[in-house]
Chains A and B, each alone.
Chain A
Amino acid sequence: MGVGFGVGSPVSRPFRQSQATLHTWSGLLLGWVLFIVFTTGTIAFWREALNRWMRPELPRIEQPMRVLSGAQAFLQRTVPDGQSWYITMPSDRMPVATLFWIPKTDADAPSGRGRRRRGTDTQALVGADGTAVVARDTRGGDFFYRFHFDLHYMPVLWARWIVGVAAMMMLVAILTGIVTHKKIFRDFFTLRRGKGQRSWLDGHNATAVLALPFHLMITYTGLVTLMAMLMPWGAVANYTDEAKISKALFPHVEVPERSNRPAPLVDLVPVVRDAERRLGGAAAYVEVREPGDASARITVTRSPATLLNTRGASVAYDGVTGRPIWQSPPPDGASATAGVMIGLHAGRYADLGLRWIYFLCGVAGTVMVASGLVLWTVKRRERLPDPARPHLGFRIVERLNLGVLGGFPLAVAGFFWANRLLPTADAGRAEREVTVLFVVWGVAFVAGLILRPRWGWQALLGGTGAALIALALFDLATLRPGMFARFLGGDSLWVGTDLTLAVFGIAFLLIARRVARHRPTIRVRTRRAAISMDAMA
C-alpha cells in the first residue's frame, strides 16, 4: 500500500518514518509472544501427524467404518447409558477413533454438563477391534495446537487476550512494514551475506516479503479465530443474549428431554454412511446424545479436511430409528466468509503438498519475527555509547532474545525427547512431557542470562541442533521393524518426520557455526555517522 506513495515527496517521508517507528515498537513489545505463537502454530500444521508420531504404539491406518463400528462396541460396553458420546472419526492420518464421553448425571447433581475433560476415564483411543489402544499417554501434536492460542499455566481467557493483542500488533507490524519498504520487490531478491546489520535486514526482508501474502493472511485470519472474544460489540448491539447469536451461528438439533424409556441405539455405520452421502464428504465428528434412551439423537458433522470452510455442515438422526430429522441450514455470506478465513488459518483442508507450503511459510514467518527481534539489537549495538556496557533496555531485549529465540526451540526438542524417553506406562505422563518442555526452557533461559550472549547463542542453537539430530538417529535406530514395512507400503510418517527433524537439526547447527565464526564489525562512531543514524531511527 505504501509503495504507492511518491518516494521522497514532502508528505510521504514523515508518514513513512512514523510508520517505521510504529513497526519497530509494535513488533518488539510482544515479539517474544509472537515468536512462540508462530513456532507452535507452524508445528501445529503437523498436528495430526505428530499425534501419530508421538504414539508409536498406534496400529496401522484402518478402514474408517470398521473403526467406527469398534468405537460403538466400546462405548456400548463402557458407558451404555452415558449422557453423550463424542466420536472423532479416524482418517487417513489417524488410525483410531478418539472418544470422549459424559457419563449419566446423577439426579441430585447440579444441572449442566459435568465437564471432566482431562479425566482419563472419560476418553479413549479405540481401534477397529473395539478395545482401547494402549498407547503412551501424550498430548502429541494437540499440545502445539493448544499452546498456539491457549499458552500454558494460565487461564485460557488471559492467554487468548494476550495472543489476540499480540496478533493485532503483528498485523500493524506487517502493514507498517509494507509502508516502510520503498523497494519491496527489489528487497525480495537481495541478500547481502556477512554484512552485519545489512544482512540481518536483508534476511528479515526476504522472509517477510517472500511469504508476505501468507503472513497477512495468517495474521488477519488468526484474529478472526478470536473474533468473538476480541470484537463482541456488534453482537451486543444486535442481541440481548449471547446464547441467541450462538444459536444462530452454530445451529444444532434440538434434543428432547431424556425419556427414561430404554431403546437400543441404531447401528452407527449405516447412519454415518447416509450422512456422508447427504453432506457430500467424509464425516469427522459423530455426537450421540442420550444413547440407549428413546430420545437418542445422532449428529454427524462433515470433516473440514475437504472443506475450505472450517464449520462443516451437519445432519441429525433419530437415534432409535436412524431416520434423518434435521440438517444444518446453509450459512449466510458473512458467516461463511468467517468460516473460510478460519479454515484458511488452520489449513485443515490442505493435503500433504499444500501442508508443506503452509509449514514452510510458517517457518519463514518465525524467522521473520526472530530476525526482526535480533535486528533491533544489531541496529542499536553500533550506536551504543559504550558497547561493553549497554543500557538496561538493550540488555533486557538481548537476554529475552537469547532465552526465547534460543531457548524455546531447545525446549521443543526436549519435549520430543521426553516423549521418547519417559516410561510409557506412567500415569500423568502427558503432563510430565509438558513439564520437561518448561524445565528445559527454564534452564535455557537461565543459561542465557548467565553466559555471555555470544556463547549463549552457540550453546542454545548448537544444543538444539544436536538434540534434534540425535533424536532422529535414536528414533530411526529404535524404530520397530514394522515401521519400515509401513514406509515401504507408502506410510511416510515415521521416516519423514525423523528426516525433517534431522534437517532442522542440521540447520540449527549451521546457524550456531555462523554465530561462532561471526566477528562483529566495530565501527568508529563519528559524530556525523551518529547524527545520520539518529535521524534514521
Chain B
Amino acid sequence: MIARATGRAVKWRRRGDNALRFIAAVPAGYAVASLWAAALARVLPGSRVGATVAGALIALALCAAAAMYAYGARSGARALLVLCLLGVVAAAIVWASVSASGRL
C-alpha cells in the first residue's frame, strides 16, 4: 500500500520534473536566447547592423544549447531557475543600454 503510494508520488514527481524541463527547454530557452540576441546587439562592438546580425547568429546556437542544458541539468526546477537568471542578466543589459543611449 505504502509502496504503491510512493510509487505514484515518484511518478508524479517525474512528470512534474519533465514538464519543468520542457518549459525550460522551449519557451524559457527561446526567451533567454532572444534576450541575449538583444543584449549582444546592444553591446557587441562594430556597426549596429553588424552587432544585430552577430547577436542573432549567436542566439540561434544558444537556443539549441538551452534545450540541451534543460534536459541535462540535475533537475527541471534548477534548469528553469538558471535560465531565468541568465535571462534577467540579459534583460538588465538591454534595459541599461537602451535607457543610456536609446534606439536608432
- Docked complex Cα distance between A310 and B94 (Å): 31
Q: Does A189 contact B (CB under 8 A)?
A: no
1/0 per position for B60-78, CB-CB distance to A under 8 A? 1101100110011000000
Is B60 within 8 A of A238, CB to CB? Answer: no
Given A171-B64, A231-B37, A237-B98: A22 in contact with B103 (beta carbons within 8 A)? no
- Docked complex Cα distance between A333 and B49 (Å): 10
Q: Which residues of B contact A240 (CB under 8 A)?
A: 103-104
Is A231 within 8 A of B33, CB to CB? Answer: yes
Is A19 within 8 A of B49, CB to CB? Answer: no
- Name the prevailing secondary structure of the B interface residues: helix
The winner among A228, A248, A341 for most chain B CB atoms within 10 A is A248
**Min CB–CB distance A245 → chain B (angstroms):** 7
Query: Which residues of chain A from 59 to 113 have a CB within 8 Å of any chain B CB?
Result: none
Q: Does B53 contact A (CB under 8 A)?
A: yes
Q: Does A176 contact B (CB under 8 A)?
A: yes
Is A172 within 8 A of B56, CB to CB? Answer: no
Contact of B50 among A19, A237, A332, A341 (CB under 8 A): A332
- Docked complex Cα distance between A240 and B67 (Å): 31
Number of A-B residue pairs at CB separation under 8 A: 118
Q: Does B28 contact A (CB under 8 A)?
A: no
Is A237 within 8 A of B94, CB to CB? Answer: yes
Is B49 within 8 A of A248, CB to CB? Answer: yes
Q: Which residues of A contact B60 (CB under 8 A)?
A: 168, 171, 220, 223-224, 227, 230-231
Is A234 within 8 A of B51, CB to CB? Answer: yes
**Min CB–CB distance B79 → chain A (angstroms):** 10
On chain A, the number of residues with a Cβ less than 8 Å from chain B's Cβ atoms is 39
Q: Which residues of A contact B103 (CB under 8 A)?
A: 237-240
Q: Does A338 contact B (CB under 8 A)?
A: yes
Q: Does A235 contact B (CB under 8 A)?
A: yes
Is A19 within 8 A of B59, CB to CB? Answer: no
Is A18 within 8 A of B41, CB to CB? Answer: no
**Min CB–CB distance A279 → chain B (angstroms):** 22
Q: Which residues of A contact B49 (CB under 8 A)?
A: 245, 248-249, 332, 334-335
Contact of B67 among A26, A223, A333, A335 (CB under 8 A): A26
Q: Does B19 contact A (CB under 8 A)?
A: no
**Min CB–CB distance A531 → chain B (angstroms):** 16
Given A234-B59, A238-B103: A19 in contact with B41 (beta carbons within 8 A)? no
1/0 per position for A28-48, CB-CB distance to B under 8 A? 000000000000000000000
Q: Does A233 contact B (CB under 8 A)?
A: yes
Query: Which residues of chain B from 3 to 59 have a CB within 8 Å of any chain A CB?
Result: 25, 33-35, 37-42, 46-57, 59
Q: Which residues of A contact B104 (CB under 8 A)?
A: 238-240, 244
Q: Report, as a range, how many residues of chain B touch the other chain.
A: 35 or more
Contact of A338 among B34, B42, B57 (CB under 8 A): B57
- Docked complex Cα distance between A220 and B68 (Å): 16
- In the complex, what residue of chain A is closest to B61 when comparing beta carbons? A220
Is B71 within 8 A of A18, CB to CB? Answer: yes
- Docked complex Cα distance between A341 and B97 (Å): 29
- Docked complex Cα distance between A337 and B50 (Å): 10
Q: Does A185 contact B (CB under 8 A)?
A: no
The winner among B71, B94, B97, B98 for most chain A CB atoms within 10 A is B71
Q: Does A15 contact B (CB under 8 A)?
A: yes
Q: Does A269 contact B (CB under 8 A)?
A: no
Is B67 within 8 A of A338, CB to CB? Answer: no
Is B47 within 8 A of A175, CB to CB? Answer: no
Q: Which residues of B contact A19 (CB under 8 A)?
A: 68, 71-72
- Docked complex Cα distance between A224 and B53 (Å): 10
The winner among B41, B53, B97 for most chain A CB atoms within 10 A is B53
Is A334 within 8 A of B54, CB to CB? Answer: yes
Q: Which residues of B contact A338 (CB under 8 A)?
A: 53, 57
Is B52 within 8 A of A245, CB to CB? Answer: yes
Is B63 within 8 A of A227, CB to CB? Answer: no
The winner among A15, A228, A235, A238 for most chain B CB atoms within 10 A is A238
Is A237 within 8 A of B42, CB to CB? Answer: yes
Q: Which residues of A contact B55 (CB under 8 A)?
A: 234
- In the complex, what residue of chain A is closest to B97 when comparing beta carbons? A237
- In the complex, what residue of chain A is closest to B62 when comparing beta carbons? A231
A-B contact pairs, 25 of them (CB 8 A): A15-B72, A18-B72, A19-B71, A21-B71, A22-B67, A22-B68, A168-B64, A171-B64, A172-B67, A172-B68, A175-B68, A179-B68, A220-B61, A223-B60, A227-B57, A230-B60, A231-B34, A231-B60, A234-B37, A234-B52, A237-B98, A238-B48, A240-B104, A333-B50, A337-B54
For the complex with contacts A168-B60, A233-B41, A234-B38, 10 further pairs of A-B residues with Cβ separation under 8 Å are: A172-B68, A175-B64, A220-B61, A231-B37, A234-B52, A237-B39, A237-B42, A245-B52, A334-B50, A334-B52
Q: Which B residues are closer than 8 A to A by beta carbons? A: 25, 33-35, 37-42, 46-57, 59-61, 63-64, 67-68, 71-72, 94, 97-98, 103-104
